[in-house]
């Protein structure tokens, strides 16, 4: 993912967050995800907790006990509908 | 001897009542379509603007439905109609409910477009207090005109805030929102002073109002297929 120069809004951050996981064969560790989202540790934790709570992502453990982050069905649905959601919010000036 | 038979001091036009019934049903259906069709977008994003937008249409739908009850009582002179005859409170309560739903709808619709710039922490409580205040006045006065004048002032105040927020000049959505609120205020005027509104004027108003609501529904369907 290229370096982001423009300030992203909340929806764009969530979209980027989920897309990084998807682009990584739907399995990524927390540290590389933090690096690639280009967020501060505090912001990352806030988004991470929010997405876990909203059931967009989940944490799984492999047989070596390492933690990976993957998308849920809801996370995939958000990604597929993002363009429509963004268009809707812009069109209705919300 | 007291005359207890229903009186008809003004001509009751069945065609006018039929049109009003048809108009209300279509508007209520349109409002509910907007509410239900935007459910997925809201559930996926929990976006505050989307939340207030869809609740604004839900409340507009409920306001139009309660307005029909008052129209039946006042314009159709159906005070002998069973729900109104059953209790003396039926008509004032209809005014109260209509005023509460419509004031909330206007406040929510405006706030959905300005919340990013003017974030009010306890907006729900704030809007509930204003709506309760207007509905108590409606309950006491039973005057749609009074309610429409208060809502006109509210609309003017919210419009000032709305003008401070940068708008997308290409799609003119805020103009449509403003028209929706104005048509609501005019519809209150119609049930307050039906004699002052000629039949053709009422029909024209309903037709334009339906076109505006349809434009919103069409745009919602375009995005939330």
pLDDT of residue B7: 46
Q: pLDDT (tens digit, 9 = 90+) per residue, B24-83?
A: 999 999 999 999 999 999 988 889 999 999 999 999 999 999 998 888 777 655 555 555
What does the pLDDT read at residue B6? 46
Give the per-residue pLDDT at B168.
Answer: 66
Closest to A54 in 3D by CA, of B217, B44, B98? B44
As given in the structure block, the two tokens for residue B165 are: 């927020």
Of A36-40, A72-76, B171-175, B183-187, least confident by mean pLDDT is B171-175
ipTM: 0.80
Question: Which positions ≥6 away from B195 have C-beta within 8 Å?
Answer: B10
B69: exposed, middle or buried (Cβ count in 10 Å: 0-12, 13-18, 19+): buried
Backbone angles phi, psi at B165, to 5 degrees: -95, 135
pLDDT value, residue B196: 73
Helix/strand/coil percentages in chain B, nearest 5: 80, 0, 20
The average pLDDT across A7-12 equals 82
Beta-carbon count within 10 A of B220 CB: 24
| Arithmetic mean of pLDDT, A65-82 | 93
**Which of B116, B117, B223 to mutate against chain A (most A CBs within 10 Å)?**
B223
Prediction pTM value? 0.83
Of A78, A81, A94, the CB nearest to B50: A94
Environment class of B180 (CB within 10 Å of its CB; exposed 0-12, middle 13-18, buried 19+): buried
User: Which residues are bridge partners to A61 per DSSP?
Assistant: A67
Nearest-neighbour CA in chain A from B94: distance (Å): 31
What is the pLDDT of chain A when averaged over all its residues? 89
CATH of domain A10-91: 1.10.10.10
Residue B198 is predicted with a pLDDT of 82
pLDDT at B166: 76
Q: Which of residues 71-130 of B touch A (CB under 8 A)?
A: 112-113
Tokens standing for residue A68: 């990976």
- List beta partners, residue A60: A68
pLDDT value of residue A4 = 45
Q: Which residue on chain B is closest to A76 by alpha carbon? A: B44
Nearest to B5 by CA among B80, B77, B81: B80
Mean pLDDT by 10 residues, chain B (225 residues): 47 74 96 96 91 97 93 65 61 92 96 89 94 96 93 92 76 88 91 77 92 96 86
**Closest chain B C-alpha to A42 CA, distance in angstroms:** 21
The region of weakest confidence among A1-5, A34-38, B21-25, B43-47 is A1-5
Pair B70, B95: CB distance under 8 Å: yes
* pLDDT at residue A1 in the model: 44
């Amino acid at each position: 993912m290229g370096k982001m120069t423009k300030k992203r809004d909340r929806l764009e951050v969530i979209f980027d967050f989920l897309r990084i996981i998807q682009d990584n064969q739907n399995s990524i560790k927390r540290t590389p995800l933090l690096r690639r989202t280009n967020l501060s540790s505090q912001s990352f934790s806030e988004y991470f907790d929010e997405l876990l709570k909203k059931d967009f992502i989940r944490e799984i453990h492999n047989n070596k006990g390492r933690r990976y982050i993957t998308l849920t069905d809801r996370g995939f649905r958000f990604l597929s509908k993002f363009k429509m959601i963004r268009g809707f919010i812009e069109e209705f000036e919300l | 001897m007291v005359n207890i038979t229903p009186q008809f001091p003004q001509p009751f036009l069945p065609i006018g009542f039929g049109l009003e019934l048809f108009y209300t049903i279509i508007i209520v259906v349109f409002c509910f379509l907007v509410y239900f069709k935007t459910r997925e977008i809201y559930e996926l994003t929990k976006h505050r603007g989307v939340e207030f937008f869809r609740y604004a249409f839900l409340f507009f739908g409920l306001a139009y439905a309660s307005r029909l009850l008052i129209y039946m009582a006042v314009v159709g002179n159906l005070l002998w109609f069973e729900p109104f005859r059953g209790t003396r409170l039926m008509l004032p309560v209809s005014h109260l409910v209509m005023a509460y739903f419509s004031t909330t709808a206007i406040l929510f619709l405006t706030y959905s477009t300005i919340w990013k710039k003017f974030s009010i922490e306890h907006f729900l409580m704030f809007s509930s207090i204003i709506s309760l205040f207007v509905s108590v006045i409606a309950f006491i006065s039973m005057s749609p005109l009074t309610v429409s004048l208060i809502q006109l002032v509210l609309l003017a105040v919210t419009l000032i805030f709305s003008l401070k927020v940068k708008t997308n000049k290409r799609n003119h959505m805020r103009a449509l929102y403003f028209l929706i609120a104005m048509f609501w205020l005019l519809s209150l005027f119609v049930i307050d002073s039906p004699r002052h509104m000629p039949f053709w004027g009422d029909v024209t108003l309903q037709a334009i109002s339906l076109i505006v609501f349809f434009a919103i529904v069409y745009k919602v369907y375009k995005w939330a297929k």
